[in-house]
Amino acid sequence: MAWMTSRLFLYQTQQDEVVSALGTLLQQGEHRADESLLFGGQAPPLLISPAIDDWLSVSGIRSSFDDVRWVGKSLAKALDCRVLAIELLGTAFRLRFADYRGDSSLDNDELTIPQTGWGLEDDSATDRMPHYQDVEQIAYDRLHQAGIPGDLIVQGFAPLGNREDVSLGQGIELRANSGSDGTDAPPSQVGVDLRSQPFAGDDAPVVIQKMNGDFGPMMVEDRYLVGQPTAAALDVLLTLEEALLERARKALPDENTNRFSLTVTYHAGIYQAELDELLRRNSRHVPPRHQSIRVPWWKFWHYFGRSR
Task: Please check the confidence at residue 24 and state whether its pLDDT lies above 80.
Answer: yes
Reference 3, options 92, 129, 132; nearest CA is 92
The answer to whether residues 235 and 106 belong to one domain is no
The answer to whether residues 137 and 218 belong to one domain is no
Burial 31-40 (b: 16+ CB within 10 A, else e): eebeeeebee
Q: What is the rounded distance in angstroms from the CA atom of residue 63 to the CA atom of residue 260?
A: 35
Q: Identify the weakest region by mean pLDDT among 36-40, 58-62, 139-143, 282-286.
A: 36-40
Assigned domain for 131 exists = yes
Assigned domain for 48 exists = yes
The answer to whether residues 166 and 27 belong to one domain is yes
- Among 163, 182, 201, which residue terminates a domain? 201
Instruction: Give the other-Cβ count within 10 Å of 269's Cβ.
Output: 16
Does residue 45 contact residue 121 with C-beta atoms inside 8 Å?
Answer: no
The answer to whether residues 102 and 133 belong to one domain is yes
The answer to whether residues 267 and 189 belong to one domain is no
Assigned domain for 308 exists = no
Q: Supply the range of the domain harboring residue 140.
A: 4-201
160: left (phi over 0), alpha (psi -120 to 50) or beta: beta
The model's pTM: 0.88
Tens digit of pLDDT for each residue in 140-159?
Answer: 999 999 999 999 999 988 88
Phi first, then psi: what are they for 259, rounded to 5°? -100, -5
Tens digit of pLDDT for each residue in 161-191?
Answer: 867 899 999 999 998 876 544 456 788 899 9
Task: Please check the confidence at residue 237 and state whether its pLDDT lies above 90.
Answer: yes
